[in-house]
Structure 1
Amino acid sequence: MSVRISTVALLMAALAGCNSPVTENRHSGDAQRQARQALGQQLYFDVNLSRNRSQSCATCHNPQQGFVDDRDNGVGGAVSLGDDGHSLGDRTAPTAAYASFSPPFHRNADGAWVGGQFWDGREPGLAGQAGGPPTNPVEMGLTDKAMAVARLQENPSYVKQFKELYGEQIFANVEQAYRAMAQSIAAFEKTELFAPFDSKYDRYLRGEYKMTEQEELGRTLFFSQQFTNCNQCHQLKATPRAPGETFSNYQYHNIGVPVNAAVRARNGVPLDQVDHGLLNNPQVDDPTQDGKFKVPTLRNVAVTGPYMHNGVFKDLRTVVLFYDKYNSRSAERQINPETGQSWGQPEVPYTLSLKELEDGPALDDRRVDALVAFLKTLTDRRYEPLLEQQQAAN
């Protein structure tokens, strides 16, 4: 997938300092960091790091689309198409935006699993995540790390930069060279481009934006334990008005998401094959964690659908209604508006986070719409035109 000129211009403007020679920066630490970011930027968009030279990190984490995969792929964008042109994943590609704020995978004081990368936290940090897709056979498809390192050495500029940053002998060891590649991509993903904190919500906190009546109602509902339970899982900071909120506590829950039958029909995974979520993480050996997935950030959520770990829901309003089904006795709320049928059975029914799911009253349509309106205010400024496009399409 080629990079559009506007994306390149955006990146170059945001990271202008990254391409300055090391000698031009008085602080060697800053220069080193910026040089790694600049290298990571190049790697992030390099299709040569896939087997058929057709995909880059940006293919499935497109900076123009909230760092998600905006290709339809025959399944409404629910999962990503591999470099081989036919393989389809079984989980949706989560946004790379704000991913750097997920803490390393660990257990907190209460014994709950927290953080990590991927839906199951199997990589502790960004570098581990960046190193996964290139050698995944259903993603970028390189046969092994040695193939990736060989591709890097095809590029004289890479060879020069790698040696300057990681030592003259960096390519003598495949593992070290591959790790350096992943670390460089991770450095780029920690830049402000991925986490600008400039949404209407951020501007509201700074007194630069006045919320509409509907947005303000949604904000009140979101942060109120009396009316919803949203912030039980989607608030990290101690207070609702704290700046830098990422809208995830990075813990793991089973919320009863059904199988995405349309995806399974296309990718060949049997309908009865269970995605065990957190239990697939090799660090976790506890049946009570079966079917749990990491709470995602809600930053840019209005422009990064489809939703849930398998992309089963297309519309953000549908997601709010899905949660409401646990508290509403209305027959209407037990129907998925996208299918006209019941929501479907949870893929893993016996570890549902019912304490969190059932802790709140039922929502009427006015409050559902208000929550959706508030969630739209979490959209970074550069993606606000995508919201306008959605509104025009509807």
Structure 2
Amino acid sequence: MSLTRFSFATAISVAVFPLQGATAPFDSIEALGEALFFDTNLSANRTQSCASCHDPEAGFADPRDTDAGQAVSRGDDGASLGDRNAPTASYAALTPAFHLNEEGEWVGGMFWDGREPDLAGQAGGPPLNPIEMGMTDKPAVAMRLAENAGYVSAFQNLFEVDIITQPDQAFGAMTQAIAAFEETEQFAPFDSKYDRYLRGEVDLSRDEELGRVLFFSEQFTNCNQCHQLKTSPLDPAETFTDYTYRNIGVPSNLTARAVNGTAKDTQDLGLLANPLVDDPAQGGKFKVPTLRNVAVTGPYMHNGVFTDLRTVILFYNKYNTKAKARQINPETGEPWRWPEVPQNLAVKELTQGPALDDQRIDALVAFLKTLTDARYEPLLEAR
């Protein structure tokens, strides 16, 4: 469901019939952004759009299977695979710009390493990435835009930009329009069961309520150390991330690297790969993701190394228990592997709270499922 007059069906017609002269009803920047978000003609081989990796029917994450499962995304060339998981675009518009906070911590920004400050910057990345949408440069993207008469008219009317003679400005306008679409309510409806509970419309089950209490309790878990933004645990605008960067000891995804060509011993330095960051103490840190829609947007972690949400809880729990059984990854049957970047671990946050028993682990999973937007609740049954 769209908040603009522009529909998904119209987006498909624009993508499939770019050379037709009919002008689409782009009467707003958001409507134009919606068309661009779904337009596969903005990729080199005309096979991939923003929606390919941020599918609105899959929590704005990438549901496509590859030789690496769903851990990383396939590029427009049909073969290239990245080394990071495509995060959900849900609630991304609420991310603050990349900056240092009062405590001297990096906060906000787009991508796992914050290398783009805002949504428009993020929207401009994939079209020019050689293993994503694969366009050579901004003028090449502008040439594709110019194939569509509706775009030509809309860019002129909405941005006073002539696509043909102002390719760089056209590229910038394109990213602004996509960002405007991502700022619409359908990306952040705040209508999950948890939101309805806060409004007094539904009750949580016993397990969901136990999970909620555990999640917000600093005594029993470490969840809210990084996944609570607001002061009150009952704040209706909670996004379940403080937008900081942490190294939690995630191991390399060797399965993905076996097929994407990345050497298995390569260290993804995360935040330290951001051009604005040169402090070695930031190596291995990645942006804390929102937990909204987390139950339907796996696999998990920056590299998609874990498939199941319960596995993620068990991974955190391994830091707080000496039980041998808890030192085994249930997805592999082997001990948890060594962190990809063993330096700079968030030891204080990771060791907060006691070990969790199965009841409390299951309760946390139950609570996290309540953070699923209403439109995606049917997907919970398939997982």
| Alpha-carbon distance in 2 for matches of 1:147, 1:358 | 50
Please provide the CA RMSD for this pair. Answer: 1.3
| Alpha-carbon distance in 1 for matches of 2:260, 2:151 | 35
| Alpha-carbon distance in 2 for matches of 1:168, 1:274 | 42
| Alpha-carbon distance in 2 for matches of 1:209, 1:282 | 46
Aligned pair in 2 of structure 1 residues 118, 368: CA closer, same or farther (>3 Å)? same
| Alpha-carbon distance in 2 for matches of 1:34, 1:187 | 13
Cα distance, 1:172 vs structure 2 = 2.3
Structure 2 unpaired stretches of 5+: 9-25
SS at match of 1:172: coil
Give the counterpart of 1:384 among 372, 377, 381.
Answer: 377
Give the counterpart of 2:4 among 12, 15, 23.
Answer: 15
Query: Which one-letter code corresponds to 1:49 in the other structure?
Result: L
Query: Which aligned runs of 4 or more in structure 1 are off by greater than 4 angstroms?
Result: none
SS at match of 1:176: helix
Counterpart residue number, 2:56: 63
| Alpha-carbon distance in 2 for matches of 1:247, 1:217 | 17
Counterpart residue number, 2:83: 90
Counterpart residue number, 1:25: none
Cα distance, 1:176 vs structure 2 = 1.1
Counterpart residue number, 1:52: 45
Question: Higher helix fraction: Structure 1 or Structure 2?
Answer: 1
1:237-263 C-alpha deviation (Å, 9 max, x unpaired): 110001111000000000000000000
Query: Which one-letter code corresponds to 2:107 in the other structure?
Result: V
Aligned pair in 2 of structure 1 residues 34, 291: CA closer, same or farther (>3 Å)? farther
1:14-41 C-alpha deviation (Å, 9 max, x unpaired): 323899xxxxxxxxxxxxx970000000
Give the counterpart of 2:73 among 74, 80, 100.
Answer: 80
Question: Equivalent residues in 2 for 1:95-174 (5 A)?
Answer: 95-169=88-162, 171-174=164-167
SS at match of 2:75: coil
Cα distance, 1:388 vs structure 2 = 1.6
Give the counterpart of 2:341 among 315, 323, 348.
Answer: 348
| Alpha-carbon distance in 1 for matches of 2:152, 2:213 | 53
Structure 1 unpaired stretches of 5+: 1-9, 20-32
SS at match of 1:389: coil
Contact 1:18 1:35 in 2 (8 A): no
1:260-298 C-alpha deviation (Å, 9 max, x unpaired): 000000000001111000000000010000000000000
1:127-174 C-alpha deviation (Å, 9 max, x unpaired): 000000001000001111111000000000000000001115454222
- Identity between Structure 1 and Structure 2 (%): 65
Contact 1:325 1:333 in 2 (8 A): yes
Give the counterpart of 1:328 among 301, 321, 336.
Answer: 321
SS at match of 1:279: helix
Question: Equivalent residues in 2 for 1:19-58 (5 A)?
Answer: 35-58=28-51
Give the counterpart of 1:243 among 236, 239, 260.
Answer: 236
Counterpart residue number, 2:14: none
> TM-score of the superposition, structure 2-length normalised?
0.94
| Alpha-carbon distance in 2 for matches of 1:324, 1:191 | 37
Query: Which one-letter code corresponds to 1:95 in the other structure?
Result: T
Cα distance, 1:338 vs structure 2 = 0.2
